[in-house]
Structure 1
Amino acid sequence: MGDQHIVEHHHHAPDWSGPDSVRHPAVGRAPVVLRGRVEEMARLRAAVAPGAGNGVYVLHGMGGCGKTAVAHTLFRHAVDHAGRIGFWVNASDPSSLRAGMLAVAADRGASDAELTGARSGLRPAADLVWHHLDASDRPWLLVLDNADTPAVLRDGGWLRTSPTGTAVVTTRQAAAHWWPGAELLRFGVLPRADAALVLQDLAPHAGSTEEAAEVADRLGCLPLALTLAGGFLAHQIIDPWNLTEYRQGLDGAAGHHPVELIDRGAETGADSRHLLSRTWQLSLDALTAQGLPEATALLRLLACWAGDPLPLGLLAGAGLGTALHPSRVESALRGLLDHSLAELVPGQVRCLRVHGIVLDSVARATPAEQREHLVTTAAGLLGALLPEVPERGAQPPAVLLLAPHVTALLRRAVTWGVAPEIVGEVVDRVVRLVVAVHRSGDFAAALALAREALDIAGRVLPADTVPLIRLRTRVGRALFRVGRFEESAAVHQEVLDDCERVLGPDAPETLEACWRLGSPLYNLDRVADAVLLNRRVAREREAALGPTHPLTLIIRKSLLEMAGHPDAGTPRERDELLAEGPAVIADCRTAWGNDHPLTVGGELSYACALALAGRPDEALHHARRALSGYERLLPPGHPLLLNTRSTLSAALYALGRREEAIEQGEILVEGRRRVLGPEHPWTVHAEGLLRKYRAG
């Protein structure tokens, strides 16, 4: 028997893990129509026009802002209309980049031997790729998508220029030092009209253009969020939603969380870049890998506030224990800026801005055990920037920028379910800001801010707790200043009733409520009731604090202002009140000086009383002193300045100085129309006075 020869045949699949294609963009859901980006697309089309080459264009911006969609649109233009070969390479990690670039080399004629040498490390891979790109017989466009770790490109020499083609990079990395010689194009959110069109492109039957614009506003006009929302609306089968229902869901209707609702529009199996809840984590993971884990802690702190411009001064001294030392805030912030998770906003006040959708997503993923510490820290930082007792007049611009942030912090504290006492601390910051806005003269804004905060905090705090009593008082005061006297009186009466029941008749909050109720009552011609309340407060404060304490001087001044009214009491009682005028002014001057608002206010109160009492010559002297003082202290047009002109004009007219009275009356009417509006009772009153002066 002869020898047997057994031959085994082994069939091996090629050792190749490269992309299936580099000639087609590997994107998720391509846009139906690229909306907006007109100027950027014009620049990029010029970069792939015949004869163009040697260019590198870096499209940078936060995750979800549509960089890949722009690159995809350019790719299709280059291939379909500009006569170029298009190459699309995933540059999100070293292995994908290497495999994709070698596939480009193979497409441009690299031999199997060359490719094997490059894969085995016997030949520099990047040199091989660019050799064949340089030698290409056709112009090309190379897109390096998702290059969020620029070091991968730089260290391997993968990004170069070539006379035969144009390279485009999409990245979240905004730092210019990563892209020497490249032209940087920054991408942010879409204009409102274009954002609405994105929704209508995807879900044309879901609602009107204006409804689409309202949903776009709620989504912050972020392309990824718009695409996911449109995808959700377009693919509902059993019970299709319209745009209005979707907006209500984003606002929490039926228990929906906005981030979860938006992500429901993703395609099955979508990767992290195409999920709103996950895309930002890619950047945070990269920052941690770069030795900046503090960036995550800082972003969680920023998520306590709003997506509006945030004064950078707020971050002075920020710290979160071991998670974020104050000395590391600067580097953590730089990391967020470099990865396009935040941006600097130029202006009178240097500000930082993070997109609201990013903040909501980060807040949702923040561990429960960290939330109270974050809220407490955020409240403390706000407290450091807010004045304890704001002066009347113009407020620091940085303070007025805090309005959306105090309400956002309050909403976050309530949503996160932090302890009621911590919610109370946040309400204290709201009250301090409301006072600052009120004293700037913007009473309508103060009212809106106080009411919004009251609505949020009222979900977890009883109305008769001290923090909400103080907030309700501010609502009543703002209502009074905007001329809604009956509503103001009703609010103050409810506050007074709660204070007396919960805190007792002598508590500071109770006395404050007494005094504040007097103002609308006086303007509703319930003068006797107002005087009675003021007398009660004056008596209690003088006994507890002394006659020259600021709180005592304020109520003495308020009582003095009513002294000249015929309904303020008997003639003897009115005379006694009026006789207090010089003493009130002297005590203010002794305690606080000539130019203090209390002293100037005392002059005005005495002038009002003297004018009402029929003593215009004396009233004129004090009104002029008040006007001079307020002109030094307050900006033109401030309500207190206008009040002074009202008293001054009345005294001038009573003295027969009609032309001067008309001059002051005209300034008064113009100012009140502008500041308070034409329907405000004080505006109407000023117009009546002016008609009277002109009639002679």
Structure 2
Amino acid sequence: MAAGRNTVPAQAEKTGGLVTISFAGHNRAWAAWLAGRLERHGCQVSLQRWDMKPGDTVRQGLSDLLLSRGTVLIVLSEWYFRLGPRSHEEWNTALRDLVPANSDRFAAVSVTSAALPSAVASLGAADLWGLGAAEAERRLLARLGITADRSGPAAGDTLGGAAGPRFPLEQPEVWGGVPRRNTRFTGREDLLWDVHQTFTQAEPGAGVLTLLGLSGVGKTQIAAEYVYRFGAENYDVVWWVRAAERGTLREKLAGLAPALGLSTGREYGERLRAVRDALRRGEPSPRWLVVLDGADQPEDVHDLVPGGPGHVLITSQNREWAEHNSSLIEVPVYRRHESVAFVRRRAPRLEAVDADRLADALGDLPLALDQNAGALQDSTMPVDDYLDLLGRGADVESGLKVAADFQMTYYTAFSILLNRLREDKPEAVDLLRLCVFFAPGPIPVRLLRDLPIRDLPEQLRALMADPLLWNSALAKLAQWSVIQSDPQDTEEDEPVGSTEVIQMHRLVYQAVRADMPAAEQRVYSQVVRKLLAAADPGRPTDTRLWPRYAEIVPHLEASGALTSTNPDIQLTVLNSLRYLYLSGEYRVGLRIAELTTASWSEVFPPGHPRLWDLVHNKGNMLRALGDFTATEALDRQAYETLRAERGDQDLLVLRAANGLAADLRNLGRYDEGLELARRVEEGYEQLVGPNDALTLTAHHNTGVTYRLLGRYQDALTVDRANLAARRELLRERNNGTLASESAYAQDLRLLGQYDQATSVQERNSEIHRVVMGPDNPQSLRAQHNLVQCYYRSGDRQRALELLTGLLERCERVLGDRHPITVRVSVTYATFEREHGDLDRARERAEFSLAHYRRQFGDAHPYTAGALANHGLLLRAAGERQQSQIEVEDALASMTRVVGPEHPWTLGCAVNASAARNFSGDPESAADLSRTTSLLAAAVLGPQHPLTLNARISLASDLRNLRKRQEADKTEEEALAALAATLGPQHPHTLAARSRTRPYWDFEPFSS
């Protein structure tokens, strides 16, 4: 460490050099002063704001600094180490690793008396804290090995002409009304820089900027931080004025006269005129800043805004400042990492996860975070209990910790705002009350306007009937930053403005609701429920209407729709559940189904059809999430109860049976599933006819069951006919038709018709992407089918390119344990084993095997298939003995669960015969290969790729038994068939020609 302290950086020569100053935004004034002094002594200086993001590492950040040329001068303070935030341990490790090895590149100055990480000593910082300008400059130059230029200006000179920025410990000559600096100020770096750049680029006389935002968003704190951060560098006069009232503003501006040394009379009107004239002329300095804090009534005070070469910074909730020649910068709530960092400074007893939860509960509003975190810090209440109070909307106002410079709670601030709106524009408050019975977040304006006037309460009819009054109320809320109104992208068939959305902060919701009597809450919530029902297009299976349901669903719970007894609203809830299932929003759907069940169970008697509707939707969600055991229990109870009450020929019974059949398929009980699926088919044909959508769905499910049973030709027959029927009834782009087309392509592929399957599936996958979106679960299944088509047809490169992105999307959209993701992961492991990284393949294969064992146990075909794949991976890794054990176990297990003639069993047999051959048991291998080839020919046909691969395996076994004549004949026939069926250049054909032993990979099917 001592070496670092005494080393003079190589680039800092006696008359200057290249210097990069790294500083925290809080210390901008120091960085500017240091740069000014170094430039006076011949250095070329660049400023680099240190900005650690949550995902960055300290080591990487310091390493990046070394990419600059010359000396890296770090301005040390506690703020430098707060960013991120990062622990002192991480800082110490990074400093110890990088600084000693680069001691000729790093230098530092310290501008704080606070304790810093111990390894900072390696930087050998010059201590500038508490010094005068001259001594601080001497120490700076000495640290960098620069000889002072005696002819240069004194260190304390200010930039009346061009001496440089003011010394940071010296305030501007005129300084008044500025609040104390917030020692817990957090984040806002980009916003502060935007303010600085706006002023820097402003033309003379046009330097007026308004920080605009909701009460409590931190406008005043940002303005104060700007003053402290840039004041010493840019201004000789800084004057802060509370500007809520015109009289106060006039008086405080007039108070600047004596500070500027103006000779005026005693009347403050005369002093005000003198001040405005002096500022306009830039006397005694053109470098002035006036801050008008809380100027929420621009119509009252805009004429008092000073003009001239200086700058005016305004904080306001009112966007009308844009009409008075002011630039606007909107101040948003904190970003989440800023919220967490701020809360942990305000309440050190909170862990990061609790700070995150508090930020979420309070919508990242800085004032609410400050007051609630302060209350938590001073309280012994467990964090969970406090968050529970906030979640229930409990009154915590009395315990909030208010600051000395803002002595009201955010509750009070919002109440004042609502009272102001009520006096100014009562219709705006009516609109606001309507909005708060939607959910926090975007509210499509269309939803607010669709209800007929006759269905509205008296107080809303005038507002809804008069477009001018409506737009005026909307504009007033936007003017006061209560709402944000954003036009969205408009579809070609949408009228202009029909996709506009409005949104407000969730704490505004709470304040407005708390201000409403219970009777009015009931009236307004009922209106919102009717609005949602009116917006329901009534066709959740139509993908073109999904955007409408996406607008409705977020507001079901907040509006009270889930507890409504209105039949129209209940139908909207059920339609929304159907949409959520089809669009792949399973977890949201499950939550809504459970909440609705709890409510409707108290409204309807047991056995009511509405309750069975909920059971059906809940079962769909659980099944889609892979909870097959729970779904089977739910559906079996529904089926048996309904069947006992209603008999077999009933639509509710058939629907329950259809769900139960799906559960049986997923649990590997294919024969039971087929029997029930056929019963459902027959029932629908009798009740609704052969061409009804319900009947076609039943046909589709029968095809799925045939495919799982290995009856690929039967599946093809069903799916081909069903595809034609669905195209006729539902049209080409319906999601049901697309599912049938994908099933048809899968049947073709499983029957070895790879080129035809690929042609069908390429088109199908593209239409899925366009119609349902690339991340819809049905689209993901279609893409997985296309991957397999490419792979089986021999186009391995296209398959791999598509598969990599598909797996990433499945994990992101569905999670790594979703059934679709696991199926894709199985395929990915196969690709990696053959063409990529064996370690990655093993990780994936072991994950899939463990997942299926945990989900289904060992007596399930998916577990046996995953074991077979894992055995092949062990063979590739050279673990032959364990590989043979696993492929034999897979064959035995698959035989038990699906029978000896199932294609999956035959595939396991191909792998097992190879294992026996490799282990020196050619007789057993040959017997198994011969049996397998005969069974495959009988089940799949003599030209099927699996049959031909079994024949190639048999030829290899016969050759090992020295039966060359039979081996050659068998091989020659199989090769000719492979070339004719798949093509002479197909990987299977080439492998067989080179006498590479064939193998079989298990592929889980969609159930």
Give the corresponding residue for 2:478: 337
1:67 CA drift (Å): 0.9
CA deviation string 1:176-208 (max 9, x = no partner): 53331x33222111222322232233222x222
Specify whether residues 436 and 419 from structure 1 end up closer, same or farther in structure 2 by C-alpha distance, changes over 3 A only.
closer
Equivalence map 1:465-484=2 (5 Å):
469-484=612-627
Is 1:159 paired with 2:305? yes
Specify whether residues 242 and 129 from structure 1 end up closer, same or farther in structure 2 by C-alpha distance, changes over 3 A only.
farther
Alignment check: 8 A CA contact 2:526 2:559 kept: no
Among candidates 140, 149, 163, match of residue 297 of structure 2: 149
Distance 2:224 2:438 in 1: 35
Q: Letter of the aligned partner of 2:322 in structure 1?
A: H
How many equivalent pairs are there? 625
1:370 CA drift (Å): 2.9
CA deviation string 1:52-85 (max 9, x = no partner): 9853221111111111222334456688887755
Q: Letter of the aligned partner of 1:178 in structure 2?
A: E
Is 1:57 paired with 2:201? no
Specify whether residues 470 and 149 from structure 1 end up closer, same or farther in structure 2 by C-alpha distance, changes over 3 A only.
farther
Give the corresponding residue for 1:630: 764
Among candidates 247, 251, 254, match of residue 391 of structure 2: 251
Among candidates 499, 502, 518, match of residue 352 of structure 1: 502
Residue aligned with 1:555, SS? helix
Alignment check: 8 A CA contact 2:450 2:535 kept: no
Specify whether residues 211 and 42 from structure 1 end up closer, same or farther in structure 2 by C-alpha distance, changes over 3 A only.
same
Q: Letter of the aligned partner of 1:341 in structure 2?
A: V
Specify whether residues 662 and 30 from structure 1 end up closer, same or farther in structure 2 by C-alpha distance, changes over 3 A only.
closer
Residue aligned with 1:147, SS? coil
Residue aligned with 2:560, SS? helix
Give the corresponding residue for 2:518: 368
Distance 1:588 1:230 in 2: 59
Distance 2:630 2:472 in 1: 51
Specify whether residues 67 and 473 from structure 1 end up closer, same or farther in structure 2 by C-alpha distance, changes over 3 A only.
same
Gaps of 5+ in 1: 1-21, 569-573
Among candidates 360, 366, 372, match of residue 229 of structure 1: 372
Distance 1:214 1:637 in 2: 29
Q: Letter of the aligned partner of 1:300 in structure 2?
A: R
Distance 2:738 2:350 in 1: 58
Give the corresponding residue for 1:114: 267
Equivalence map 1:596-611=2 (5 Å):
597-599=735-737, 601-602=739-740
Specify whether residues 391 and 621 from structure 1 end up closer, same or farther in structure 2 by C-alpha distance, changes over 3 A only.
farther
1:412 CA drift (Å): 5.1
Alignment check: 8 A CA contact 1:528 1:567 kept: no
Distance 1:295 1:632 in 2: 47
Q: Letter of the aligned partner of 2:209 in structure 1?
A: Y
Alignment check: 8 A CA contact 1:144 1:170 kept: yes
Is 1:207 paired with 2:357? no
Equivalence map 1:523-602=2 (5 Å):
523-563=666-706, 584=722, 587-593=725-731, 597-599=735-737, 601-602=739-740
Distance 2:214 2:389 in 1: 25
Is 1:461 paired with 2:600? yes
Alignment check: 8 A CA contact 2:177 2:240 kept: yes
Give the corresponding residue for 1:12: none
Specify whether residues 171 and 638 from structure 1 end up closer, same or farther in structure 2 by C-alpha distance, changes over 3 A only.
closer
Distance 2:786 2:328 in 1: 61
Give the corresponding residue for 1:35: 186
Is 1:420 paired with 2:559? no
1:114 CA drift (Å): 2.8
Residue aligned with 1:274, SS? coil
TM-score (norm 2): 0.53
1:523 CA drift (Å): 2.3
Q: Letter of the aligned partner of 1:37 in structure 2?
A: R
Alignment check: 8 A CA contact 1:454 1:471 kept: yes
Alignment check: 8 A CA contact 2:761 2:785 kept: no
Give the corresponding residue for 1:9: none
Distance 1:173 1:394 in 2: 39
Give the corresponding residue for 1:299: 432
Residue aligned with 2:337, SS? helix
Specify whether residues 545 and 288 from structure 1 end up closer, same or farther in structure 2 by C-alpha distance, changes over 3 A only.
same
Alignment check: 8 A CA contact 2:443 2:501 kept: yes
Specify whether residues 102 and 190 from structure 1 end up closer, same or farther in structure 2 by C-alpha distance, changes over 3 A only.
same
Specify whether residues 662 and 426 from structure 1 end up closer, same or farther in structure 2 by C-alpha distance, changes over 3 A only.
farther
Gaps of 5+ in 2: 1-174, 491-499, 831-864, 873-906, 908-945, 947-987, 989-997, 1000-1007
1:529 CA drift (Å): 3.5
Distance 1:287 1:685 in 2: 60
TM-score (norm 1): 0.73
CA deviation string 1:131-177 (max 9, x = no partner): 476687577543322111211113xx2223144x5432210112453
Distance 1:376 1:502 in 2: 36
Residue aligned with 1:89, SS? strand
1:223 CA drift (Å): 0.9
Distance 2:216 2:647 in 1: 56
Give the corresponding residue for 2:410: 276
Q: Which is worse superposed, 356-365 or 89-98?
A: 89-98
Is 1:389 paired with 2:532? no
